[in-house]
């Protein structure tokens, strides 16, 4: 059976770059922005930027990049930084420039003015990880934050990148040791003072479908991270698909979940596809103001919601867990929040119920997607009451099929691997034919996720196919047990992995971060620790079939390891599980001797 959205979709413009679409173009799906609504707001200072502020800086930086490095179409620039908003020293130019400038988006959009491809990198990468990305993409310049400068310099030396091509988002020349690197603010100033040196990249009709905008890294369904080749057309398409899915500029749009004039939180990292598209492009397209946070701090996020009367939250499941369970939530006025969009991993019915108890005025909407689809595959339509646990319906323009293990197609309510096609799908993995053939098959993208689509068209993510446990021949989805565990008052966060077992093949083990209440109990002695573990195990055995019980036990962790998008690092957890089982068995052997 083939599934699709009932909402009509027309293709995005394929002769515009992403920066042209966001900074310059109008579109029938784009609402008018209120004159008093800035594009970006810096969280700590409240500094605001409107369209003309941003356009002037983008022009200045693009001009300098062209003059100094002769950057041109199809070159690659790497951005290795958190959501930096930077400093800007005012100078007498023909433009009025504020002291601070939103360096990260300016860098992205200035590169796109030149036709340069941007590859965003996680600022927490090790030198080896950054080297891998620089080599894989062939980046010619490297934007970075001062805190990441040492790693950037080390990686640049290894790959042979000129140190002068490392561009800082913030001037640190006041420190005792001069850094000797160009700074974005200086480049903007110089570019504004010079005659225009570049011709903006103009795309021919159809060229946007193949001209690359971003090289974002993803593990895909298997293996080592791969550079996902995303053209301008795919990202623009995703923006329009989300806008149509939410009726952003349609009838009664002023009563919708997302409205022009809203204020949105910008805590998601821009180096990840979710933050890059949802926060930095879609929210702005919809006429929202984005309050940008340099890094995630939960209590600072709560303060920001109260301070700026934020209406829209773009989050990942760990944030939702904190909002649902953390005691600090009660100290702040979060009544302005109308919608919370969460992506990157499934959210259980139990956690959804807890979220509504904590934020009764808000609605929790799940977005499901991946880097290879420019973010979105499905989203809950407006006006509907989401079925708890649902990731919504396919966005307009998306076509899907669910393939069973035997290769036949599933119908409603039958599980299988989700395959999709649509205008927002990436072209390929860069320079990786083997991985491309494995994932992009006959025009379809294999997601690697096991899903169900019900008769209402709602999609439910069961789990990653490669992460589903096989216990005595039965499939056990870790996400199901994790959602159930999060409903226990002792559990602040959790992850379930399989450990080898001679009888069952493998059995579930739960890693748990304790709630504040449970931590106090655990501190009182080993008896209470054993009681907590037994209570958590019983929480599962009382309600789940026998093969889903936590026969691998419960282990405590201070923090559940996740990647920046909120996805669990299960490979790391599986390694830790094996080590803990080994230590447990060794201890039991010693006690018998």
> 79 versus 571: which is more confidently predicted?
79
In this prediction, residue 418 carries a pLDDT of 96
Same structural domain, 59 and 173:
yes
Residues 6+ apart with CB under 8 A from 411: 1
Angle at which helix 127-137 crosses helix 149-159, to 10 degrees, equals 50
Question: What are residue 243's phi and psi, to 5 degrees?
Answer: -65, -45
466, 486, 506: which is the final residue of a domain? 466
- Asked, for residue 570, whether it belongs to a domain, the answer is yes
Instruction: List CB contacts of 74: < 8 A, sequence separation 6 or more.
Output: 115, 116, 117, 212
Q: Which residues constitute the domain of residue 583?
A: 468-592
If one counts every other C-beta atom within 10 angstroms of the C-beta of residue 583, the result is: 10
Model confidence, pTM: 0.82
| Vertex 553: Cα angle to 547 and 558 (nearest 5) | 130
Q: Tell me, what's the pLDDT at 125?
A: 84
- Percent of the chain residues topping a pLDDT of 90: 64
Q: What is the pLDDT of residues 143-183, one digit of tens each?
A: 999 889 999 999 999 999 999 999 999 877 655 445 689 99
- 157: in domain: yes
Residues 258, 158, single domain; the answer is no
- Spatial distance between the Cα atoms of 215 and 207, rounded to a whole number of angstroms: 17
The tens digit of pLDDT for each residue in 180-237 reads 899 999 999 999 999 999 999 789 999 999 999 999 988 654 456 789 999 999 999 9
Q: Is 472 found in the same domain as 461?
A: no
Residue 588 has pLDDT above 80, yes or no: no
Rounded alpha-carbon distances, angstroms, from residue 75 to 70, 80, 180, 272, 359: 10, 17, 24, 21, 46
> In Å, how far from its chain's centre is CA 174?
35
Beta pairing, strands 312-315 & 226-231: unpaired
Q: Which two tokens stand for residue 155?
A: 């990686």
Do 356 and 475 fall within a single domain? no
pLDDT(91) > 70: no
Residue from 561, 539, 560, 553 nearest 587 by CA = 553
pLDDT at 92: 38
Q: What is the pLDDT of residues 262-319, one digit of tens each?
A: 999 999 989 989 999 999 999 999 999 999 998 889 999 999 999 999 999 998 887 8
* 40-42/48-49 β-pairing: antiparallel
d(CA 359, CA 337): 8
Domain-embedded: residue 25: no
How far, in Å, CA of 189 to CA of 195, rounded?
12
Percent of the chain with pLDDT over 70: 92
Please state the rounded mean pLDDT for residues 11-39.
95
Number of compact structural domains in the chain: 3
Answer yes or no: do 556 and 571 share one domain. yes
Domain final residue pick, 413, 448, 466: 466
Tell whether 58 is covered by a domain: yes
**Residue 565: per-residue pLDDT:** 65
Q: Are 411 and 429 part of one and the same domain?
A: yes
- How many alpha carbons fall within 13 Å on the CB side of residue 241? 33
More confident residue, 293 or 85: 293
Write down the pLDDT at residue 592: 62
Q: Residues 191, 280: one domain?
A: no
Summarised one tens digit per residue, pLDDT across range 122-139 is 888 889 889 999 999 999
For the purposes of burial, counting CB atoms within 10 Å of the CB of 441, is it exposed (0-12), middle (13-18) or buried (19 or more)?
A: exposed
Q: Please, is 307 exposed, middle or buried when counting C-beta atoms within 10 Å of its C-beta (0-12, 13-18, 19+)? A: middle
Q: Is residue 338 part of a domain?
A: yes
The secondary structure element, H or E, covering residue 356 is helix 349-358
Helix or strand (DSSP H, E) at 42? strand 40-42
Whether 60 and 188 share a structural domain:
yes
Clarify whether residues 80 and 176 are in a common domain.
yes
Clarify whether residues 326 and 443 are in a common domain: yes
Q: Which residue shows structure tokens 């941003």?
A: 54
Tokens 């989700």 -> residue: 418
- 40 falls within a domain: no
**What's the confidence (pLDDT) of residue 539?**
94
Are residues 323 and 428 part of one domain?
A: yes
Query: What are the pLDDT digits (tens) for 375-394?
Result: 999 998 887 677 877 889 99
Q: What are the tens digits of pLDDT across the range 417-454? A: 999 999 999 999 999 999 899 999 999 999 988 899 99
Give residue 591's pLDDT band: very low, low, confident or very high (50, 70, 90).
low
**Which CATH number do you get for residue 511?**
3.30.300.30
Confidence grade of residue 93 (pLDDT, cut at 50, 70, 90): very low
Average pLDDT over residues 348-372: 87
pLDDT value, residue 317: 80
Residue 478 lies in a domain: yes
Please, how many CA atoms are within 13 Å of residue 37, restricted to the half-sphere of its CB?
19
Closest to 425 in 3D by CA, of 229, 201, 140, 277: 229
Residue 26 lies in a domain: no
What is the band of 94 on the pLDDT scale with cuts at 50, 70, 90? very low
Q: pLDDT tier at 54 (50, 70, 90 boundaries)?
A: very high
Of 149-163, 364-378, 460-474, 548-562, the one with minimum mean pLDDT is 460-474
Rounded to whole angstroms, the Cα distance separating 130 from 128 reads 5
Q: Are residues 396 and 488 in the same domain?
A: no
Sequence-separated (6 or more) residues with CB below 8 Å from residue 524: none
Pure H helices in 171-282:
184-193, 232-245, 273-274
Tell me the mean pLDDT in the region 75-85: 91
Last residue in a domain, options 139, 168, 202:
202
159: CATH: 3.40.50.12780
């Amino acid at each position: 059976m083939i599934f699709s959205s009932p909402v009509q979709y027309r293709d995005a413009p394929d002769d515009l770059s992403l920066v042209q679409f966001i900074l310059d173009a109008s579109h029938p799906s784009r609402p008018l922005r209120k004159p008093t609504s800035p594009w970006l707001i810096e969280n700590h200072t409240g500094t605001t930027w409107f369209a003309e502020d941003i356009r002037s800086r983008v022009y200045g930086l693009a001009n300098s990049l062209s003059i100094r490095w002769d950057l041109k179409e199809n070159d690659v620039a790497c951005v290795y930084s958190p959501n930096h908003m930077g400093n800007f020293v005012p100078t007498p130019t023909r433009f009025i420039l504020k002291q601070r400038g939103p360096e990260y988006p300016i860098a992205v959009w200035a590169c796109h003015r030149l036709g340069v491809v941007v590859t965003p990198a996680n600022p927490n990468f090790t030198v080896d990880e950054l080297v891998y990305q620089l080599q894989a993409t062939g980046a010619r310049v490297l934007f970075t934050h001062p805190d990441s400068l040492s790693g950037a310099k080390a990686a640049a030396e290894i790959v042979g990148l000129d140190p002068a091509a490392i561009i800082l988002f913030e001037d640190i020349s006041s420190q005792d040791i001069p850094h000797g690197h160009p700074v974005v603010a200086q480049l903007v100033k110089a570019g504004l003072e010079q005659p225009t040196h570049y011709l903006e990249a103009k795309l021919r009709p159809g060229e946007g479908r193949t001209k690359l905008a971003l090289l974002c890294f993803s593990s895909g369904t298997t293996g080592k991270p791969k550079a996902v080749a995303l053209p301008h057309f795919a990202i623009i398409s995703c923006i329009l698909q989300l806008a149509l899915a939410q009726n952003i500029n349609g009838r009664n749009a002023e009563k919708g979940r997302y409205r022009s004039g809203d204020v949105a939180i910008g805590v998601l990292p821009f180096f990840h596809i979710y933050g890059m598209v949802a926060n930095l492009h879609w929210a702005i397209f919809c006429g929202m103001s984005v309050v940008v946070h340099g890094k995630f701090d939960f209590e600072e996020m709560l303060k920001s919601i109260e301070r700026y009367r934020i209406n829209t939250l773009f989050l990942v499941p760990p944030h939702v867990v904190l909002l649902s369970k953390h005691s600090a939530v009660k100290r702040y006025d979060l009544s302005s929040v109308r919608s919370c969009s969460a992506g990157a991993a499934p959210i259980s019915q139990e956690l959804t119920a807890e979220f509504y108890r904590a934020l009764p005025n808000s609605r929790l909407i799940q977005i499901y997607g991946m880097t290879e689809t420019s973010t979105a595959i499905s989203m809950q339509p407006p006006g509907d009451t989401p079925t708890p646990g649902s990731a919504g319906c396919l966005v307009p323009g998306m076509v899907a099929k669910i393939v069973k293990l035997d290769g036949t197609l599933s119908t409603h309510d039958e599980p299988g691997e989700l395959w999709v096609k649509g205008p927002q799908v990436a072209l390929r993995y860069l320079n990786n034919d083997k991985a491309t053939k494995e994932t992009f098959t006959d025009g379809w993208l294999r997601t690697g996720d096991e899903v169900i689509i019900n008769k209402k068209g709602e999609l439910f993510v069961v789990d990653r196919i490669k992460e589903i446990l096989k216990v005595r021949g039965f499939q056990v989805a870790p996400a199901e047990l994790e959602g159930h565990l999060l409903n226990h008052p002792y559990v602040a966060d959790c992850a379930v992995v399989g450990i080898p077992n001679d009888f069952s093949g493998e059995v579930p083990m739960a890693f748990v971060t304790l709630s504040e209440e449970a931590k106090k109990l655990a501190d009182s002695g080993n008896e209470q620790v054993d009681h907590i573990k037994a209570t958590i195990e019983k929480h599962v055995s009382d309600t789940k079939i026998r093969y889903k019980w936590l026969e691998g036990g419960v282990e405590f962790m201070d923090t559940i390891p996740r990647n920046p998008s909120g996805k669990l690092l299960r490979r790391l957890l599986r390694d830790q599980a094996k080590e803990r089982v080994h230590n447990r068995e060794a201890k039991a052997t010693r006690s018998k001797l």
